[in-house]
């Protein structure tokens, strides 16, 4: 009996130890792999890669194709992971999966990387200002993407920011919008969103609009605006700036009133790639190259009257090359498919992006 109870005690001791270990593990910090961010100065920006919509559980071999093309910069346009949670530990685990991917780490070693978010890495499908964990999510986003401690991003709500590259003759401004933290609720259900014409419905809050106005007044020859949500499209049931026509109009009006030249949009979200152009009265043509996704693929494209050329319904990424050697510098806008084949090719002269 004594032996029996001793064995039993030993058994419970082992069980308790194992349980305590597991508990300690489950309450402990989720560790990320070291992220070898490159911060090499870029004297003249010539090649910008961009993409979006990368599921942390899927292989991201396409990042290797991007690295092979040796861009100066890679811009992540959101849904960089599919967090979809209010539990910050779960979000941390999902960022951890991305951090340990060899193909992601190789990309970080190959090129400078900057990022904004979309709904899934913000924390919730199609969420706007109502998402309750936006402060915690922002903290994790900035930590993961290695935001410098002196960054303006820590000083205001949301994650919008801008970057400048090159001397005055080659200055490129990259504006990354936050279209999640302040966006008003969508009307209707997913795939069937309705136009929201309310005068108090916003894509960005007053501070972000004011910041953007100030940015567009700063000197730059080319201004690439990173927008997780497609900018040029009309309402199509899905998420688009077109669901908030007053806000879309406000953007056109802001470009006009600031006389900001050289504006081109880069967007993500929809799980296919396409190039759109809007020709609005009193404004030069506004191009929007959508590159989505790095792992996510949608085979059915929405109707888009502003589309130029075909869609890419496979894994894809976007690229903008700037030929500064021409007297009238040229932007070569391209969309690449899963095998890094050029499927969308459009040249735009800088003189075509002027008033």
The binding site for Fe ion (CB under 5 A) comprises 53, 79
Least distance in angstroms from the C-beta of 135 to Fe ion: 23
Whichever of 265 and 272 has its CB closer to Fe ion, that residue is 272
Q: What Rg do the C-alpha atoms of the chain give, in angstroms?
A: 23
Structure-block tokens of residue 341 = 């084949």
Report DSSP state, residue 281: T
- How far is residue 148 CA from its own chain's centroid? 18
Whichever of 298 and 321 has its CB closer to Fe ion, that residue is 298
74 CB contacts (<8 Å, ≥6 apart)?
Answer: 48, 49, 50, 51, 66, 107, 111, 112, 113, 114
Least distance in angstroms from the C-beta of 60 to Fe ion: 14
Bridge partners, 320 (sequence order): 48, 333
Least distance in angstroms from the C-beta of 84 to Fe ion: 10
Question: φ and ψ at 209, to 5 degrees?
Answer: -65, -45
| Nearest partner of 116 among 249, 269, 222, judged by Cα | 269
| Contact assessment for residue 40 and residue 112, using Cβ atoms and an 8 Å cutoff | yes
Cα 350 to Cα 172: distance, rounded to the nearest angstrom: 12
Least distance in angstroms from the C-beta of 147 to Fe ion: 22
Cα 289 to Cα 248: distance, rounded to the nearest angstrom: 16
| Nearest partner of 254 among 300, 206, 293, 292, judged by Cα | 206
| Contact assessment for residue 46 and residue 322, using Cβ atoms and an 8 Å cutoff | yes
Whichever of 79 and 274 has its CB closer to Fe ion, that residue is 79
Least distance in angstroms from the C-beta of 270 to Fe ion: 8
**What are the strands of the beta sheet with 47-51, ordered from one edge?**
112-115, 73-76, 47-51, 317-323, 330-336, 342-349
Least distance in angstroms from the C-beta of 144 to Fe ion: 17
Least distance in angstroms from the C-beta of 296 to Fe ion: 5
Whichever of 111 and 230 has its CB closer to Fe ion, that residue is 230
Whichever of 314 and 346 has its CB closer to Fe ion, that residue is 314
Whichever of 53 and 322 has its CB closer to Fe ion, that residue is 53
Whichever of 211 and 241 has its CB closer to Fe ion, that residue is 241
Class of residue 190 by CB neighbours under 10 A (exposed 0-12, middle 13-18, buried 19+): exposed
Whichever of 162 and 295 has its CB closer to Fe ion, that residue is 295
Whichever of 79 and 126 has its CB closer to Fe ion, that residue is 79
Count Cβ atoms below 10 Å from residue 17 Cβ, excluding itself. 10
Least distance in angstroms from the C-beta of 223 to Fe ion: 25
Peptide bond into 293 cis (omega under 30): yes
Least distance in angstroms from the C-beta of 69 to Fe ion: 23
| Contact assessment for residue 120 and residue 157, using Cβ atoms and an 8 Å cutoff | no
């Amino acid at each position: 009996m004594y032996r029996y109870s001793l064995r039993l005690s030993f058994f419970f001791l082992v069980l308790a130890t194992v349980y305590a270990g597991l508990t300690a593990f489950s309450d402990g910090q989720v560790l990320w792999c070291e992220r070898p961010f490159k911060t090499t100065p870029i004297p003249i920006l010539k090649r910008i890669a961009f993409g979006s919509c990368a599921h942390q559980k899927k292989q991201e071999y396409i990042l290797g194709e991007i690295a092979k093309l040796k861009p100066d910069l890679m811009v992540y346009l959101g849904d960089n992971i599919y967090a979809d949670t209010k539990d910050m530990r779960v979000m941390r685990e999902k960022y951890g999966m991305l951090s340990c991917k060899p193909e992601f780490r190789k990309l970080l070693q190959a090129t400078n990387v900057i990022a904004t978010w979309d709904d899934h890495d913000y924390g919730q499908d199609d969420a706007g200002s109502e998402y309750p964990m936006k402060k915690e999510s922002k903290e994790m986003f900035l930590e993961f993407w290695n935001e410098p401690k002196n960054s303006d991003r820590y000083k205001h709500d949301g994650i919008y920011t801008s970057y400048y590259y090159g001397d005055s003759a080659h200055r490129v401004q990259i504006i990354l919008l936050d279209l999640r933290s302040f966006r008003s609720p969508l009307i209707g259900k997913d795939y069937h969103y309705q136009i929201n014409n309310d005068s108090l419905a916003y894509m960005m809050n007053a501070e972000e609009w004011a910041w953007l106005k100030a940015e567009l007044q700063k000197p730059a020859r080319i201004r690439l605006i990173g927008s997780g949500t497609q900018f040029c499209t009309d309402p199509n049931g899905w998420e688009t700036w077109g669901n908030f026509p007053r806000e879309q109009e406000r953007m056109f009006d802001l470009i006009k009133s600031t006389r900001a030249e050289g504006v081109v949009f880069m967007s993500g979200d929809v799980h296919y790639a396409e190039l759109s152009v809007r020709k609005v009265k009193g404004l030069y043509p506004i191009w929007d190259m959508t590159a989505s996704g790095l792992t996510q693929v949608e085979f059915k494209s929405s109707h888009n009257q502003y589309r130029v050329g075909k869609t890419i319904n496979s894994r894809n990424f976007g690229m903008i090359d700037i030929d500064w050697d021409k007297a009238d510098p040229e932007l070569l806008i391209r969309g690449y498919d899963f095998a890094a084949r050029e499927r969308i090719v459009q040249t735009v002269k800088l003189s075509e992006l002027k008033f």
